[in-house]
Structure 1
Amino acid sequence: MTQLLSGLTILDFSHRLPGPLASKLLAGLGANVLKVEDIKFKDPFIYGAFAKFDDSFPHWYEELNSNKQIIRLDFNATDIKLKIKELLENCDAVILGLPEKLLNKLGLNQQDLSSCTKPLAVIELLASKEHTKAMHDLNALALTGLLKLHVQDQSAPIVAPPFLPIAGIGFGHKVATDLLAALLKTSRSGCHTFHKCYLFESTKEIFESFWPKKSQARQKFLHNGLYPCYNLYQTKDKRYIALAAVEEKFWIRFCEIFKLNIESDKRFFYEDQSIFLEVASHIAHYDYEEIAEMTKGEEICLSLV
């Protein structure tokens, strides 16, 4: 494993997904991450509502925090500020994801952190500069307009959200990137660096690049199923393949294997469903294991789901 951040110590005062994902990525690069939690409430993924209604959250917690040292302190202790101050004096960076009232109580507001002898890079996670209401992943996707791409072909009264919390995942990556930038600035200036990172604005910054204003008249693209060569097709035994035979050589070999007589330029034909249906009808003749054997060792950008 690459240890590019070996020697750096990061205090993580965040919980749930984005902050812990950011510190997981940084720990993976060799940083020494200390995740600080309240001894009673810990992290919502393992204590309280999240953990109670869905047992996948404790599993997420384990995956996000397995490469860190977990430190649990009594946030109501009379000497809590002193204990946290001791941790701060031996770290290089801090991730904050706590309410303002709690930051003040723990001695983690900007004024308190500025009193630390060692210059710190500090990232604070917030919902939005633009929107004042609290939000989750789904709200950020809706407010940026990106959720329209998910519901555009739907007519059902209930539509399941996207298969992963992609706004939160993107936010976690943005937090990690911003913290590295803050560390660089601190190193160069010799001064504390304070930076705020926002879920809504990060979602907008990252994902709008793939649905820019110039393209928003369109709602179908290569990556969400516009073309026959890049789609999911059902097998005979009701499983799926992921076909991404965009390049001509991959499409030609795909057609040879599945005995399809479709010209290579037709892989981008979307004016009607004819090519989609022709591919689907051929794939439906084979079960999952047959396709696995047929495509073994073949370079055609086809994967079994």
Structure 2
Amino acid sequence: MEQASGFVVATRAALAQLSALAVQYSFSVIGAIILLILGWLISRVVSRWAHNGLSRIHGIDATLSQFFANIIRYAIMVLVIVMVLGQFGVQTASILAALGAIGLAVGLALQGTLQNIAAGIMLLVLRPFRVGESIETGNIQGIVVDVGLFATELKTSDGVYRLAPNSTLWNVPITNYSRRPTRRNEISVRIEATDDLARAQAKLMALAGRDKRVLRDPPPVVYVADFDAGGATITLRYWTSSSDWWISSRELTKAAKLAFGKQPEGIPDPQVSSHDAPGESGPPAPLGADEPGSVRT
């Protein structure tokens, strides 16, 4: 009997303690649920405000604004979870210290990835190139298809897909062939000493005048670039839109060769060449066009 009565007393005591704990922690559980719901709603509202506010700033890319909005949202949710754990008596200081240590370890492990993210942010803010522009940087050349936080997608002039990590694009000089609306080109012709210099200059100027892609402002010019006892090199310098640079340089070079024609027997044909301004290189061929010097089969 005594054992039965003792068991009943222990059971009642245990139930009393459980009811006390249930009453004590029920408010904590309810408070935790309310905090989670409020935190989730606040994080969504604040991230949406941040995204809309950053989108209104000139020069901020949509990818970048969404990235910062997501960071704000996740940061708020982390704080909410820490507050919820604090409702149950968990030491939040140790949690924050553990999160800091985990963040440091992840940062060291993903050092290369973080470099790409940092470079991607700088590329999206400074905008050295945009989607659809033709660029060249190091050994990478092509049309920009997409600029992301980790890498940039490009399409080469022969239709090849290329994916370049942002860190490789940020640490080297970038040549953007599409950013400026106009480009300059030069076509040089080598003539003999017995040829009429004024007539040769007039021919080159006439070629520029007949081509509608050659801009009239600034006007094209023809000048003697070099001379020696054997002859002279005359150069046509003209400006055209960046979109017409490649095709105009090829067609005007061909027209110059045809304009000067075949020389009398014993005199070599004039040497015609097309080149960009000194110290620069021409842009890649448009998509679908042959590269200079290539032969279609």
TM over 0.5: no
Kindly indicate which of the two structures has a greater share of residues assigned to strand: 2
> TM-score, normalised on structure 2?
0.26
Kindly indicate which of the two structures has a greater share of residues assigned to helix: 2
